[in-house]
Every structure is written in structure tokens, then in C-alpha cells.
Structure 1
Amino acid sequence: MKRKKHTAGDEDAAVDMTPMLDIVFIMLIFFIVTTTFSSEKGLEPNRPPENQPENPNPSKSLSIRIDETGQILMAGRIVDIRRVVANAQTYLANNDTDSAAIQAHEDTEHGIVVEVMDQVKLAGITKVSVLVKED
């Protein structure tokens, strides 16, 4: 039995990587092109400028309290969520202001706070602050 001798041509055999690199780059381009970037939606905070001088005559803002059970208190009275707009408009008719402060208990549902904010903005108040009361 005769053994086959190895020739120099067998040592130079190599795998051609060019087609594999082409496929990798094509896949990379495909994933870059098909990726969608989504912008998150949410509430924009309205922050005052850093070096704002103190206002000597602060305006009287509408004060709304929401307790842990979801009851809404305006001017010391319990108000239904559907009557917030009417009460806010009455307050605006009697007072010259464009701001409201909503003080919510930390256990209050977020949906109620957002609904009150929407109702106050419908009444015509542009500046709304939200405060969280911790026990």
C-alpha cells in the first residue's frame, strides 16, 4: 500500500472570507435601515429660569388638594371631578391668576391627578404645579 505524499498545494488551501464579510455588511445595513426610533411622549416640565428675581407681589394661585381616597378639595369643599372646570373658571373670574397648585397624597392614583390637571387646563389656567404630600 502506497502512501500519498503531501504536496505544497495542500498547505496553501484557505477559506475565502470575502463572501461572508459581504453578507455580514449587508445584514448590518439591513438592520440599520429597518430600525425605527420612537420618541417618548409625556408631560413637559415647566421649570423657572435659574437666575430669576423674586416676585415682590406673588399672584394668588388656585389650590387643589387630592387625598388618598381620590376626593378633590377646592377652597375647603369636596368637588366632583366633572365640576373642576366650573369651579376653576369661577375662581378665575374672581381672581387674576394663571397658575394652579395641585397637592396630591402619595397614595392617590395618577389617573385622577392627570384628569384634574386636564380639567384645570380646560378652564384656562396655563401654569399647573403638582406637589406630592408624604405622610
Structure 2
Amino acid sequence: MAEINTSPENGRRKGGRRSKKLSTRVDMTPMVDLGFLLITFFMLTTTMSKPKALPLVMPADGPATAVADSKSLTLLVDKDNRVAWYEGLTVRDGQFPVLGRSDFSVENGIGNVIRDKQRRVAKTYGDADELVVMIKVAEGGSYRNMVDALDEMKINRVARYAVVDITAEEVKMLAE
């Protein structure tokens, strides 16, 4: 609280009355206490930022489901923000499929390849959700690029996709 200190009058001087000078002093202790109480209150009641993670949907246990090559697309995420792709799931009988190359750009990136494949699957099978995309990350591929590939699945509304290990044949295809 504030205090007002009055000093006793020393006597009268010539020339009239002089007004009393009062000194004031403000005690800041309660204000500091209140400040610390408010800081403590807001620190304890605030919510800390929650980590953001992608939901992971695991397949049910059981035998593998066969998927036609005409319904599938395989993405090979490589180093330096590059991605290679081919139609189908695996290399068959030592025959390498035609390998297309792209990146994650908006104009001519892998999103265009995915949308084109969705259109062809929808035309053939009647539903674009029949498309199955396999994402395989090469040795030099970065985590960011894998997340970019997963983002493309979300952006293009791909219903079925999986992240799987890259095979030795596919590593050879990337090296060529």
C-alpha cells in the first residue's frame, strides 16, 4: 500500500505560509507477489504443444492379398528430392519395368503421375480407390522425402498405400 509521511512543521518563516511537503512511498511487495502468483497460475494451467504424428494403420494378420499390376504403382524415393516410379508391384522374372523419374514439385511432380494412374484405374475398374501405391525408400532417401511421398498420398486421396522395404533389383534399377 501507499504511505504518506508527514514531517513536523519547523516554525514560521517570513513571507507567508509555506505549504507542507508530503513524501509518498509505494510498497511494491504485494504487486510482486501478485505477479508471481499469476505467472505460476498461467504456467500450470496452459497446455503444452502436443506432438503431431501421422496415424498408423496396420493391416490385419493373414495371407497377403494379390493385387493386379494394372491397379498398382510403386514409388522409389531416392536422394536429392528425386522419386522414380513404375507401374506394378515388383520386378517380375528379372524383367525390369519401364522406370519413370520425377520429383516432388507442384507443376510436374509425382502428384501428376498418381492422378493419371488414378484416372486410368477408375476408367478400367470403375473406382479410383482400387489403386494401391507401394512407397519404397532407397538408401540415400531422406525422411523428409518419405513424408513428402506420404503427403502426396493424402493430397491425392489415395485410399490404399504402404511403405515397404526396397529390393535389390530396385536398387539396381535406380543405379542405372
TM superposition score normalised by structure 2: 0.48
Which structure 2 residue ranges, 5 or more long, are not aligned? 1-40, 87-98, 169-176
1:63 Cα shift? 0.7
Q: Is the 8 A contact 1:101 1:129 kept in 2?
A: yes
List aligned pairs for 1:98-117, cutoff 5 A: 98-117=131-150
Partner of 1:126: 159
State the SS of the aligned residue for 2:151: helix
Give 1 or 2 for the bigger CA radius of gyration: 2
Q: CA deviation at 1:53?
A: 5.7
Q: How many residues align?
A: 106
Q: Distance in 1 between matches of 2:134 and 2:100?
A: 16
Asked if the contact 1:61–1:100 (Cα under 8 Å) also holds between the matched residues in 2, the reply is yes
Compare relative contact order (CA 8 Å, sep 6+) and give the higher one, 1 or 2.
Answer: 1
Distance in 2, Cα, partners of 1:123 & 1:70: 19
Change (3 A) 1:78 1:36: same
- Return the match for 1:58 from 56, 67, 70: 67
1:78 paired to 2:111: no
Question: What is the percent sequence identity of the aligned residues?
Answer: 20
The residue aligned with 2:118 is 92
Which residue of structure 2 lines up, in the alignment, with residue 40 of structure 1? 51
Cα 1:108/1:134, change in 2 over 3 Å: farther
Moved over 6 A (4+): none
| RMSD of aligned residue pairs (Cα, Å) | 3.2
Gap runs ≥5 in structure 1:
1-29
